[in-house]
Structure formats: C-alpha cells, structure tokens
Amino acid sequence: MAITTNTTERTIDPTAPGYAAAAPDAAVVPDTAVGGSAQATRSIVVNGVRHVVHGDRITFEGVVGLADGRGTRSDGHTVAFTRGPVEAPEGLLMPGHGTVLVEDQVFHATATHEG
C-alpha cells in the first residue's frame, strides 16, 4: 500500500506583507536576527503540504498563515510540531511565540473554533 502526500511547494518571502521580519511577532524571522544569512531556506511541512521558507525561525502566526493559505486570523488554532531542533524536538506553539526551524520539520495547525 503506497501512501502519497501533497507535496505542493510554496516559497514564502519574509519581506511580503504578513511575513515582515522587523517585528518580534513576525511570521518568519530572517537568519540575520540570530547571526546567520538572510538567504537561508528551509523546507517544512504544514498539514501535509511542503513549504519553502526563508529564515531560521517561524512563529505560531506564520504556521497558521501557511496552513490556511490566506493569512487569516490565527486565534482559535492549535499548532503542534515534530522533528524540531535538538533543544525542542516536539511541542506546541502559543500565539506570539515561535520556534527555530529545522529542515523537514513537521507542523500541524488545527482550527479549534467553537461552532
């Protein structure tokens, strides 16, 4: 039995609206914020879809934006990750917080709105 996943790639520009790196709550913080190169890219998986992002970090809001593809409000979501950095290989992200990105890191963003 073969398992296939959607491997659509989307490149995220950290200078695009909603992904500006100037503020600490920005969706993607460039490598220069932690001493690296702003041109570094990482391939991550969000809800089964592969995305290419620029930078060393991503926030809760950035993951939700990639998950829904529209950059809509991020409240009412749960974000979990696996295959993370050695310091935190798995965990939950809270609004306003982020994590260091690792190649092939996996994120799950689930809407938790009450209906």
The answer to whether position 1 is within a domain reads: no
Q: How confident is the model at residue 59 (pLDDT cuts 50, 70, 90)?
A: very high
Question: Interior CA angle at 29 toward 76 and 31, to 5°?
Answer: 150
The answer to whether position 3 is within a domain reads: no
Q: How confident is the model at residue 93 (pLDDT cuts 50, 70, 90)?
A: very high
Q: How confident is the model at residue 76 (pLDDT cuts 50, 70, 90)?
A: confident
Percent of the chain residues past pLDDT 70, beyond the cut: 58
The answer to whether position 6 is within a domain reads: no
The arithmetic mean of pLDDT across residues 65-69, rounded, is 87
Measured in residues, the chain has a length of 115
- Alpha-carbon distance of 63 to 97, in angstroms, equals 11
pLDDT at 74: 62
pLDDT at 112: 82
Structural domains counted in the chain: 1
Element (H, E) at 91: strand 91-93
Hey, what are 95's tokens? 């609004």
pLDDT at 78: 93
More confident residue, 12 or 87: 87
- CATH number of residue 65's parent domain: 3.10.20
The answer to whether position 2 is within a domain reads: no
pLDDT at 105: 97
The answer to whether position 25 is within a domain reads: yes
The answer to whether position 21 is within a domain reads: yes
Question: Which residue range(s) make up the domain with 17?
Answer: 11-111
Contacts of 107 (CB under 8 A, 6+ apart): 44, 45, 46, 47, 63, 66, 67, 79, 80, 81
The answer to whether position 97 is within a domain reads: yes
> Does residue 25 surpass a pLDDT of 90?
no
